[in-house]
């Protein structure tokens, strides 16, 4: 195999596809590699860990067709480190050579015949607005669990609603839900559970895109963004009854400017080491934020806010609270609470399509 291309073309292809390559221990060494297939001027670059596959098709100056597998992380790091300009890649039986200007790297390759072939799932394709899905993923994906011992919670639920599509994610400490009215992907009452890792890759690719093409199979899903395809296995199992987690009534309501409470939280959190809870004291005079860490100190700050309800102090994990506030779509938000131990709900005062639920932390 031999081809030439601009450094930025190679960098984008390798870095994007390597997001799916295995980074932890695997019984198949080839999964730590990145598969290159050159036919004419079309270079297909594929990374996979067996569950998630990312393919990128790039146009290059092809000189000799071929197939090879290079170490994913190392190849991507090399491409990123090269100076701008033309890069020449040549891969033979003795390994791979990557050269640009005065730089030249030689790499050992992996057995390409061991790299699995993946077929995209059969099904109808649906084209969605990239902007709407990107916003939903930005708000929801981070709330999914990263604990592989509870695989159900590592997924994002896609559910058909009467007037659109709903995204839901929870790690049992917080829950994020976003509706996309008028967006239809699933059949009536149908749900699928997509790994959050796959949707994180999709979200990173949507910034400059206009459309997202989705194809859902029985066990796999494929997302296409321009010249990139993401194929992922769906998670099997029953998702928790998230509707039952959302309280029907909140007697207490705080309305506050998002940027004001975020700025104050970031300052107060300086004294909340090791995720020490931050207390929110709410009353007729507004909002007071308090962080107390034994043997270190205490931080307090008041924030202008409008409050209706009984005086209440409730504590939250500051990281989870900040993450929820950051993705709230409105400049002004509403924090709804029942008491110091029941879930609180954060919503925008204008956008009713997003909800962030957060469990309080018990403090003495």
- What is the second-level CATH architecture of the domain 125-244? Roll (3.10)
pTM as predicted: 0.89
Higher pLDDT, 189 or 45: 45
Contact 54, 94 (CB under 8 A): no
Whether the domain at 2-114 and the domain at 247-358 fall into the same CATH topology: yes
Instruction: Tell me the two tokens of residue 213.
Output: 């093409």
Place 74 in a pLDDT band, splitting at 50, 70 and 90: very high
DSSP string, 237-261: SPPP-GGGGS-S--SEEEEEEHHHH
**How large is the average pLDDT for residues 66-77?**
95
Q: Which pLDDT value is given to residue 161?
A: 83
Cα–Cα nearest to 226, from 54, 360, 72, 109: 54
What is the rounded distance in angstroms from the CA atom of residue 18 to the CA atom of residue 202? Answer: 14
120 has pLDDT over 80: no
Contact 168, 156 (CB under 8 A): yes
Share above pLDDT 90 across residues of the chain, in percent, rounded to a whole number: 74
Domain boundaries, the chain: 2-114, 125-244, 247-358
What is the rounded distance in angstroms from the CA atom of residue 324 to the CA atom of residue 301? Answer: 20
- In order of 58, 138, 302, 309, the CA distances from 171 in angstroms are 37, 16, 30, 29
Q: Which pLDDT value is given to residue 26?
A: 57
The lowest-confidence range among 60-64, 80-84, 189-193, 201-205 is 189-193
The lowest-confidence range among 38-42, 206-210, 224-228, 276-280 is 206-210
Cα–Cα nearest to 187, from 158, 207, 211: 158
- What is the per-residue pLDDT across 299-334, written as a single tens digit (0 to 9) for each? 999 999 999 999 999 999 999 999 999 999 899 999
Count other Cβ atoms within 10 Å, centred on residue 190.
11
Cα–Cα nearest to 139, from 193, 180, 100: 180
Q: Which pLDDT value is given to residue 91?
A: 95
- What is the second-level CATH architecture of the domain 2-114? Roll (3.10)
**How large is the average pLDDT for residues 90-119?**
89
**How large is the average pLDDT for residues 331-355?**
93
Q: Which pLDDT value is given to residue 325?
A: 96
Helix H or strand E encompassing 224: strand 220-225
Cα angle 328, 330, 335 (rounded to 5 degrees) comes to 65
Share above pLDDT 70 across residues of the chain, in percent, rounded to a whole number: 98
Q: Which CATH superfamily is domain 247-358 in?
A: DNA Polymerase III, subunit A, domain 2 (3.10.150.10)
- What is the per-residue pLDDT across 148-203, written as a single tens digit (0 to 9) for each? 889 999 999 998 887 888 999 999 999 999 999 887 777 777 889 999 999 999 99
Please list, in sequence order, all residues whose beta carbon lies within 8 angstroms of the beta carbon of residue 196, skipping any fewer than 6 positions away. 141, 144, 154, 155, 156, 169
Q: Which pLDDT value is given to residue 121?
A: 64
What is the rounded distance in angstroms from the CA atom of residue 265 to the CA atom of residue 300? Answer: 10
To the nearest whole number, what is the mean pLDDT of the chain? 92
What is the rounded distance in angstroms from the CA atom of residue 192 to the CA atom of residue 120? Answer: 17
**How large is the average pLDDT for residues 225-246?**
92
């Amino acid at each position: 195999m031999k081809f030439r291309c601009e450094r930025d073309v190679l960098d984008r292809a390798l870095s994007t596809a390597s997001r799916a390559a295995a980074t932890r221990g695997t019984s198949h060494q080839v999964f730590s590699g990145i598969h290159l297939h050159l036919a004419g001027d079309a270079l297909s670059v594929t990374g996979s860990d067996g569950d998630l596959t990312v393919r990128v098709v790039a146009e290059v100056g092809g000189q000799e067709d071929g197939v090879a597998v290079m170490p994913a992380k190392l190849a991507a790091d090399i491409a990123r480190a090269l100076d701008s300009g033309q890069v020449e890649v040549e891969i033979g039986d003795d390994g791979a050579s990557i050269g640009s200007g005065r730089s030249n790297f030689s790499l050992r390759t992996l057995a390409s015949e061991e790299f699995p072939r993946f077929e995209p799932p059969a099904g109808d394709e649906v084209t969605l607005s990239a902007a709407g899905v990107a916003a939903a993923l930005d708000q929801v994906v981070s709330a999914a669990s990263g604990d592989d011992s509870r695989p159900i919670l590592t997924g994002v639920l896609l559910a058909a609603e009467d007037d659109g599509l709903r995204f839901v994610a929870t790690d049992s400490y917080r829950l994020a839900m976003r509706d996309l009215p008028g967006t239809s992907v699933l059949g009536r009452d149908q749900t699928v559970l997509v790994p959050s890792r796959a949707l994180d890759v999709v979200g990173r690719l949507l910034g400059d895109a206009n459309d997202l093409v989705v194809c859902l199979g029985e066990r796999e899903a494929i997302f296409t963004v321009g010249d990139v395809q993401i194929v992922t296995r769906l998670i099997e199992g029953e998702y928790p009854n998230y509707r039952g987690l959302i309280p029907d009534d909140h007697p207490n309501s705080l309305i506050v400017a998002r940027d004001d409470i975020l700025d104050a939280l970031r300052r107060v959190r300086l004294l909340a080491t090791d995720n020490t809870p931050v207390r929110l004291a709410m009353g007729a005079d507004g909002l007071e934020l308090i962080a107390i860490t034994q043997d270190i100190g205490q931080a307090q700050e008041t924030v202008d806010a409008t409050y209706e309800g009984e005086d209440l102090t409730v504590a939250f994990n500051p990281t989870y609270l900040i993450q929820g506030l950051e993705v709230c779509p409105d400049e002004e938000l509403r924090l709804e609470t029942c008491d110091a131990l029941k879930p609180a709900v954060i919503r925008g005062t204008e956008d009713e399509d997003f909800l962030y639920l957060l469990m309080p932390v018990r403090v003495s």
